[in-house]
Amino acid sequence: MTKPRTRIQQRNSTAILEAALEVFSQHGFRGATLDQIAEGAGLSKPNLLYYFPSKEAVHTALLSKLLDTWLDPLRAMNPEGDPLTEIMGYVRRKLELSRDFPRESRLFANEILQGAPRMRDAIAGDLKTLVDEKAVVLLRWMDEGRIARLHPVHLIFSIWALTQHYADFDVQVRAVLGEGHDPFAEAQDFLQTLFTRLLRAEPV
């Protein structure tokens, strides 16, 4: 039986993961070092290695936690709800995730750009299973004539692209928009209009 961690151990583990999130999101996996993470956590490198035996172990722990956070907004799409309301709720939740967790978004993007060596099984497993499940729901709504007929998986891809962009390219977004703009509020209004028009069912 695993001995429960003390409060200090829990605090140190949390500090390591918080520091690692900052370092990995800035430098990517290859550019990050254990020394940088230890310094950010306020610990010595040997102390860090007591909790995580390698850089890979820290990175994997972060990604495992992140995947659940990333899947929750899609899980919340209710098959019995109003289709447009449920899809727009998903768009809103994804946009809020980009606004509130930009470092996590960049960490995920960096992992994917490197070929997902530490997440391939999770992507082919939990992520694909959930997308397949929700694609069935979207197809049913289309068959019922409640939303326009589109490729359901590419619809989900487009939601990812149009929401996560605001986290992954935050500097570019703010530079192009200029001062006095709230990118996320404006994006919410724009995406509401875009997807409402895209998904409106043709009259029978």
pLDDT number for residue 143: 96
Find the mean pLDDT for residues 22-40: 91
Give the per-residue pLDDT at 4.
Answer: 66
Which pLDDT band holds residue 3 (cuts at 50, 70, 90)? low
43: its two tokens: 């610990």
More confident residue, 6 or 15: 15
Percent of the chain with pLDDT over 90: 70
Is pLDDT at 144 greater than 60 in this prediction? yes
User: Is 63-199 CATH 1.20.1630.10?
Assistant: no
163 or 68, greater pLDDT: 163
Q: Which two tokens stand for residue 78?
A: 């209710």
Do 1-53 and 63-199 have matching folds? no
Q: What is the pLDDT of residue 119?
A: 81
Burial (0-12, 13-18, 19+ Cβ within 10 Å), 126: middle
Give 120's contacts (C-beta < 8 A, 6+ positions apart).
none
Q: How confident is the model at residue 203, as a pLDDT?
A: 61
How confident is the model at residue 103, as a pLDDT? 87
Looking at residue 19, its pLDDT comes to 95
Mean confidence (pLDDT) of the chain = 91
CATH superfamily of this structure's domain 1-53: Homeodomain-like (1.10.10.60)
Domain segments of the chain as ranges: 1-53, 63-199
- pLDDT confidence tier of residue 95, bands split at 50, 70 and 90: very high
Condensed to tens digits (0 to 9), the pLDDT of residues 32-52 reads 999 999 999 999 999 999 999
Question: What pLDDT is attached to residue 1?
Answer: 47
- Residue 199 CA to its chain's centroid (Å): 24
pLDDT of 182 higher than 50: yes
Handedness of CA 49, 53, 57, 61 (dihedral sign): negative
Q: How far apart are CA 119 and CA 39, in angstroms?
A: 26
Indicate if the pLDDT at residue 204 is higher than 60: no
Q: What is the pLDDT of residue 104?
A: 87
pLDDT digit string (tens) for 51-84?
999 999 999 888 888 888 889 999 999 999 999 9
Q: Is the pLDDT of residue 148 over 90?
A: yes
